Structure 1
């Protein structure tokens, strides 16, 4: 609604001044500030002057309106010919030479709302609005009457007074402008200072980032140095430690003959126990260093959980202490399929869990379980009834070198690396470790692993070509000619030699056997008694010993009178022993040990001392290459860390030499390596042994390696065997 306050006719020059005065007065009564009063008065003055100048006469109406908002409205109407180029003036495209149009543009900027309509027939109508401050409700009629009364009582000033007022307003505007300019100057100076400070800050940030990057690189380098140091030092420590363990084993092996007193035996056992503890700590440190350096090698393969648990059961049952009635129980979910993962690392995780459980459980049980958590994951858990772990410590135990304080913890010493290592190994296999525990009740350590670890598939593909295979010995295989009847069962001499390095030639008749003898060098022949009883006088020769095994009774086999025949009922062990004895007469066995460490050579010689092999020793890589070429051993034991040449260089030189390229090589070192480490070489070792192995395991591995090399199978206890 529009409420008119005042109307002013514009016919003379002083009417323009009156419009200006009234606009200022009404703006003051409506509560506008002085600066806003001046803006309204100036805008009204400009439009009123245009009406007087270009249309001779007009009318200005002052009112208040609440549409669309509560505002002070001025309508100035003239009856002129209109404005021809209004669009250009409003859009700012009009270029005025006499000032025409500038009043419209200026007034438009001074007011909150501005509208103009112009045509030659009706003239021009300009509506100016200024929003009334600090008021939202409409004016009541009595308030409008009060405003009109105030305007009636106010006598407008003359032109001279208005000019002075306008000059004063102009001076005030100039002061305000100057103040704003000074304020802008101050702000510009402040902004300049701020920009300089920001530039300095940016330079500082850049310098700080560079320093942080340098420190990060330094920390990374320090971490790499630490990992290399730990790896190098643990290798250096491992060699003398293994020597101590092996020498104590040799010393203790003489106890049965009373060569050592009980006190000496006790002292040696203390030395051995301390060395074993130190070796365990060093192994944990090396594994941690490898994980930090990202150099842990994964050996994927099929994992049978039942076999894994069987190995763990056999390992930990002897460790159960009689003074602590703790029962070790293994449970397997029958629905668990064959896993594809790294069995060694799974066993390492579970060994850590089980050893901790046995260590901190005084009585009750330790239960090892395997269950299928889902179609894709299997969970291994170790549940004990031990001392338990408080909630606040359950995160700390997975921090490196962290050990909780308590009576049992003080009795069971360690490095604090076992659980952090287990967690990292589980993450390497695509799984995760969790713990649930309550003090006084017990603990449950669990590891969740994928049934088939997809990230290991590429590793397996890379290692297929690097597997340890059974090579051909350096000399031609010894012929073993076997004749068997058609109804002979599978347990025949031919089947006995499936895992041996003899060349087996099967024959179904003695006639064919005689023809084959003519094409063979010195050979050993095995015949069934059913044939040999009829032809033994003509078949056995000075150069062809014959071993006779039979399915018949011993009484019939005793009918043979030829002492050149070896006759016995069907016996695999006897047959292989006899065959190896004959071949040993033909080809003496020589074993070359290439190792710069005298103690390591001594320990290996001690393991082989009861065999029928001739032991040759070389103190370094160059001497080993020379002896291998001159003595032509049947097998070479090779260390990898030597001062003059590394084991890798020696192996490469052996495989590049036509005289030694076929000699089987067994790596025997404290350095942890895998078949994939030898992929770049032309030849692979037939076996990789660790100097850390205990006596029984070392003997078993060496025996298997010798069999792969084509030598006589030995149990390394002084008796020859299969």
Structure 2
């Protein structure tokens, strides 16, 4: 018992130090072009021993062929996948753990770790990525608390550092899916020009989208083209930022929780200062599907050159 508790405390200390390094910006990130299939297969091989002790649990890998290379820190991404696979195996006594990877219509890489285990209560889904949070399974709490409660917090920090998004979907007694979405076009934060070092004369673009990966993708694309950018994740934040910074142009997603793109555009057109600001709608809807009256509409997935040409054209009036 002393030995097991010593091992647990050692893991806890290591995880605390690891999370502290990430949050304080002291990690030396090693970015390179990463083959997604190789990344996943390597991570699966490292957890295979855990699954050999569970003959009633199958581990399957499904990866779309021809996935583009991902600009990422391979070791850190492996750390995330090992954590997700280990969790899935830990809480699945019978059935299947499946890893899927494919490209989305929005130009993101999506990785899913899906299990048929005991699941997570709905009210705990959003808190499991917080520090020291572990799933409470009624009277089985004591027997299931085997980790440090930091693995998912570390994973979230790593994914968000890569400009991505991670979340969980689950149903009790039916299983859990942990989903990662990562942008292909990603510039690490230490490589991106910060506002104080940017050309203050460059046009300012406000990017409004509830998807963090899409915000990073568009921001990096426009910054590389010489524009300054600010971002907002919903309509209310977009209006506040637009009134505060008076952007030269706005890109607007349509489908967002709360105040959606249509309502946000209506408020912009009522504002005396902002009513003439060009707005580009970026939408999964086709151009003839009840689109709001914006200055331009571009269907998702967004083609980089089409977006840049449209931005340039609108700024030149």
State the TM-score bracket (shorter-chain normalisation): 0.5 to 0.7
SS of the residue 1:331 aligns to: strand
The Cα shift of 1:452 comes to 3.3
Please state how far the C-alpha of 1:298 moved relative to its aligned partner.
1.5
Q: Which residue in 1 is equivalent to 2:199?
A: none
Distance 1:371 1:408 in 2: 36
User: Is 1:384 equivalent to 2:115 in the alignment?
Assistant: yes
Whole-Å separation in 2 of the counterparts to 1:424 and 1:329: 26
2:143 matches 1:411: yes
Flag the structure with higher strand content.
2
**CA distance in 1 between partners of 2:14 and 2:62 (Å):** 29
TM-superposition CA deviations, 1:556-580 (whole Å, max 9, x none): xxxxxxxxxxxxxxxxxxxxxxxxx
TM-score between both structures, scaled by the size of structure 1: 0.25
CA distance 1:455–1:388, shift in 2 (3 Å): same
With a CA cutoff of 8 Å and minimum separation of 6, indicate the structure with the bigger relative contact order.
2
1:348 alignment counterpart: 79
Contact 2:23 2:157 in 1 (8 A): no
Distance in 2, matches of 1:355 and 1:404, equals 15
Deviation, structure 1 residue 399: 1.8
Instruction: Kindly indicate whether the alpha-carbon contact (under 8 Å) linking 1:371 and 1:379 is maintained by their aligned counterparts in 2.
Output: yes
Are 2:175 and 1:422 equivalent residues in the alignment? no
Offset of residue 365 of structure 1: 0.6
Q: What residue is the counterpart of 2:132 in the other structure?
A: 401
Q: Distance in 1 between matches of 2:42 and 2:5?
A: 25
Contact persistence 1:437–1:443 (CA under 8 A): yes
Tell me if the contact between 1:324 and 1:362 (Cα under 8 Å) persists in the aligned partners. no
Please give the alpha-carbon distance, in whole angstroms, between the structure 2 residues aligned to 1:348 and 1:327. 21
* 2:93 aligned residue: 362
Tell me which of 163, 166, 181 is aligned to 1:433: 166
1:302 to partner: Cα distance: 1.3
The alpha-carbon deviation at position 454 of structure 1 amounts to 2.0
Corresponding residue for residue 203 of structure 2: none
Q: Distance in 1 between matches of 2:87 and 2:121?
A: 16
Report the alpha carbon displacement of residue 398 of structure 1 after superposing the two structures with TM. Answer: 1.7
Going from structure 1 to structure 2, the CA distance change for 1:409 and 1:350 (only over 3 Å counts) comes to: farther
Structure with the higher helix share, 1 or 2:
1
CA contact (8 A) 1:366 1:385 kept: yes
Aligned mate of 2:188, from 425, 434, 455:
455
Listed as ranges, the matches of 1:239-318 within 5 Å are 271=3, 276-318=7-49
* Matches for 1:188-587 after TM superposition, within 5 Å: 271=3, 276-323=7-54, 325-374=56-105, 376-406=107-137, 407-412=139-144, 413-455=146-188, 458=191
Structure 1 Cα separation of the partners of residues 108 and 77 of structure 2: 14
CA deviation digits over 1:149-177, x for unaligned, max 9?
xxxxxxxxxxxxxxxxxxxxxxxxxxxxx
In the TM superposition, residue 372 of structure 1 has moved relative to its aligned partner by 0.7
Shift of 1:283: 2.2
C-alpha separation in 2, matches of 1:312 and 1:275 = 26
The answer to whether the 8 A contact 1:349-1:425 is kept is yes
* CA positional deviation for 1:296: 2.5
TM-score, scaled to structure 2: 0.55
Name the residue aligned to 1:506: none
Aligned residue pairs total 190
> Matches of residues 653-668 of structure 1 in structure 2 within 5 Å?
none
Contact 1:341 1:456 in 2 (8 A): no
Mind listing any 5+ residue stretches in structure 1 that lack a counterpart? 1-266, 460-722
| Counterpart in the other structure of 2:220 | none
